[in-house]
Amino acid sequence: MTRYLVTSALPYANGPIHFGHVAGVYLPADVYVRTLRMLGEEVLSVCGTDEYGVAITLKAEQAGQDYGEYVRGWHDNIQNFFARLGVEFDIFSGTSQCAQHEETAQDFFRQLDANGYLEKKETTQLYSEEDGMFLADRYVMGTCYVCGYESARGDECPHCGTWIDPLKLKNPRSALSGAEPVHRQTRHWYLNLPKLRDDFIGGWIQNHEWKPNVSAFIQNLLEDVPSRSITRDLKWGVPVPPELAGDEEGKRLYVWFDAPIGYVSFTKELMAQRGTPDEWRRWWQDEDTRLVHFLGKDNIPFHCLVFPSMLWGTQQDYVLPWQVPANEFYNLESGKFSTSEGRTFDLDAFFERYDAEAVRFYIITTLPETSDSTFSLEQMVQTINSSLAANIGNLATRVLKFIGKNFEGKVPALAPEHAQEFDRQILMESGEIQDPAESIRAFRFREAAAILLANSSVGNVFMQRTEPWAMRKTDPEKAASALNTLCEWIGWMARWTAPFLPGKAQALWEQLGQPGQVADQPWPGIPDASTWRSLQAGAPLGTPEALFPRVSLPEENELSLPQEKG
């Protein structure tokens, strides 16, 4: 039987994440997983932080923390942010804290080497004796040998745009200490992507059906793939397998190589926790698995070409990606989200004013699925008030409060003689009813959100036409039948909305007096006249309360980061 292995791009543990990341990756992944679960699919959702690399060592040193402590801090910070938005994974680990990661990453290295997909090359790099390290291109400054600009970086000259060869820079110096680096020979392993492409992956990519914005990205990718260096002279990372390192000392795996392997090692970790350590193979090495990578567009080449090459190159029967629902970028109204530039919100203040699930819903309605899109506070307030408060939320309160006042707060009875008429009215004549899960399966999340609203409108239209408030005086039994029908509809809304608004859907479920977790209900699909009703007449309802209070724009500076207030 088919099973779904869902991964979300590993956030780098050197800073907070923001709505941009959430919209691009984690929220759609969460909705996808929750939907599949209700559909009865077997699903595993894996994520964690990417915790190695030079950037982290430098920042940790600046902060005066040891590396493990430093990444742990950001790991927890990021996890808290996900928790606030209701984004959940089966496991949220980290590449330096996962007990299985080092060995797993080394195994990839060994297997790729054994199969002839690694090559060792000698190169000259800049070494800073002052800093005691080889300098990544980014950490070299110097005079541009093309235009003479004095503050060129080791990767690019910001003045003339030349791609710099750091070895040719005039007057090179370390961006860290300012000391002059020396040339030093070093040997590194490279992943032979051209060979992997020619042996298999090239053909696989061309025959695979990708999301349109993904195909556009990888079209030109194949023609010009270089071998990529997969080791570095680093202090913080997975060591090259000792038996292969030989006389090379201090070589560690380059983060880009070890990070995606985290998907595998985190799965192993989870299965070990569950007491079934071999179970990971069923997820990663079984052809019935559908591997789905959620990520941002900048990660497309990596997950469509490089990581599949690594998986296949081990010759260990790893599954290759089934779908890569990459999203575009999500920008803040006045530009991009950026924590470092203060272009984000004080989240404590933000979530004090705005309900996290309402925010979740707004973000889903604006996901950057086909092109970059924009987060706007004003738009968010409008969406919460019109779509959530007035449409979905108000449908529940208008029905349930009315029943509370006039029908003793119990599910009103459906008279058999009205059933057919009302079935027809709500299922056929009050607007088109669609199944949001079909859109979710196709990774069209915004469309799914629109369907939820349309389905909710069906309830409002039905109520408007049947006018139970008027009927109550002339034909109370018929009014009861209409309200019974509306209660059923609210039950459907609770189930349909559960993946999007997990907490609110549960509250709605309880207001209907239903037991248990709505998320444990089977996915309802599209109502069929002969089977769609399930409520017990006379069963007590819960206490009706507004699910989504109306909201307004924040006061000036209310949501600014603390250091910017005032």
Contact 293, 301 (CB under 8 A): no
Tokens read off for 6? 């869902």
What's the closest the beta carbon of residue 434 comes to RNA, in angstroms?
13
Angstrom distance (rounded) from CA 188 to CA 118: 10
Q: In terms of C-beta density within 10 A (0-12 exposed, 13-18 middle, 19 or more buried), how is residue 275 classed?
A: exposed
3-state secondary structure of 156: strand
Query: 312 vs 330, which CB is nearer to RNA?
Result: 330
Angstrom distance (rounded) from CA 168 to CA 171: 9
Residues of this chain, 206-265, that bind RNA according to CB under 7 A = 216-217, 220, 254-256
Estimate to the nearest angstrom the gap between the alpha carbon of 308 and the chain centroid: 20
- Please tell me whether residue 156 binds RNA under the rule CB under 7 A: yes
Q: Please, how many CA atoms are within 13 Å of residue 354, restricted to the half-sphere of its CB?
A: 29
Stretch of residues binding RNA (CB under 7 A), selected from 68-76, 277-285, 371-379, 521-529: 371-379
Angstrom distance (rounded) from CA 318 to CA 110: 15
Residues of this chain, 9-48, that bind RNA according to CB under 7 A = 9, 11-12, 15, 17, 20-21, 23-25
The contact mask relative to RNA for 113-152 (x = CB under 7 A, - = no) is -----------------------xxx--------------
Query: 469 vs 529, which CB is nearer to RNA?
Result: 469
Query: 183 vs 465, which CB is nearer to RNA?
Result: 465
Stretch of residues binding RNA (CB under 7 A), selected from 143-151, 263-271, 311-319, 456-464: 456-464
- Please tell me whether residue 471 binds RNA under the rule CB under 7 A: no
The contact mask relative to RNA for 187-206 (x = CB under 7 A, - = no) is --------------------
What's the closest the beta carbon of residue 82 comes to RNA, in angstroms?
13
Q: What secondary structure, in 3-state letters, does 422-460 show?
A: HHHHHHHCCCCCCCHHHHHHCCCHHHHHHHHHHHHHHHH
Buried b (16+ CB within 10 A) or exposed e, 110-131: bbbbebebbeeeeeebbbbeeb
Query: 67 vs 523, which CB is nearer to RNA?
Result: 67
Binding RNA (rule: CB under 7 A), the pick from 187, 401, 410, 533 is: 401
Q: In this structure, is the dihedral angle defined by the CA atoms of residues 199, 202, 207 and 208, taken in order, positive or negative?
A: positive
What's the closest the beta carbon of residue 115 comes to RNA, in angstroms?
24
What's the closest the beta carbon of residue 538 comes to RNA, in angstroms?
20
- Please tell me whether residue 391 binds RNA under the rule CB under 7 A: yes
Stretch of residues binding RNA (CB under 7 A), selected from 407-415, 461-469, 493-501, 526-534: 461-469
What's the closest the beta carbon of residue 278 comes to RNA, in angstroms?
30
- Please tell me whether residue 560 binds RNA under the rule CB under 7 A: no
3-state secondary structure of 249: coil
Binding RNA (rule: CB under 7 A), the pick from 116, 161, 516, 540 is: 161
Stretch of residues binding RNA (CB under 7 A), selected from 182-190, 201-209, 363-371, 409-417: 363-371
Residues of this chain, 52-111, that bind RNA according to CB under 7 A = 53-55
What's the closest the beta carbon of residue 271 comes to RNA, in angstroms?
25
What's the closest the beta carbon of residue 28 comes to RNA, in angstroms?
10
What's the closest the beta carbon of residue 447 comes to RNA, in angstroms?
8
Angstrom distance (rounded) from CA 272 to CA 220: 41
What's the closest the beta carbon of residue 552 comes to RNA, in angstroms?
11
How do strand 373-375 and strand 330-332 relate by DSSP bridges? parallel
Stretch of residues binding RNA (CB under 7 A), selected from 51-59, 97-105, 200-208, 278-286: 51-59
> Cα-flanking dihedrals φ and ψ of residue 286, to 5°?
-130, 130
Query: 103 vs 298, which CB is nearer to RNA?
Result: 298
Residues of this chain, 486-515, that bind RNA according to CB under 7 A = none
Name 396's Cβ contacts closer than 8 Å, sequence gap at least 6: 490, 493, 508, 511, 544, 547
Contact 57, 34 (CB under 8 A): no
3-state secondary structure of 172: strand
Contact 267, 284 (CB under 8 A): yes
Stated length of the chain: 566
Helices (H), 338-415: 347-353, 356-365, 377-383, 394-406
Query: 91 vs 136, which CB is nearer to RNA?
Result: 136
Stretch of residues binding RNA (CB under 7 A), selected from 87-95, 355-363, 460-468, 525-533: 460-468
Whose tokens are 């595993």? That residue is 44
Whose tokens are 């349309």? That residue is 454
Residues β-bridged to residue 182: 127
Stretch of residues binding RNA (CB under 7 A), selected from 63-71, 108-116, 244-252, 296-304: 296-304
Q: Could you tell me the end-to-end alpha-carbon distance of the chain, in angstroms, rounded to an integer?
A: 59
Binding RNA (rule: CB under 7 A), the pick from 376, 434, 521, 560 is: 376
The contact mask relative to RNA for 313-352 (x = CB under 7 A, - = no) is --------------xxxxx---xxxxxx------------
Query: 241 vs 368, which CB is nearer to RNA?
Result: 368
Contact 496, 455 (CB under 8 A): yes
What's the closest the beta carbon of residue 217 comes to RNA, in angstroms?
7
Rg of the Cα trace of the chain?
Answer: 28
What's the closest the beta carbon of residue 395 comes to RNA, in angstroms?
7
Angstrom distance (rounded) from CA 49 to CA 16: 11
Binding RNA (rule: CB under 7 A), the pick from 177, 285, 394, 521 is: 394
Binding RNA (rule: CB under 7 A), the pick from 142, 296, 502, 513 is: 296
Stretch of residues binding RNA (CB under 7 A), selected from 153-161, 169-177, 239-247, 270-278: 153-161
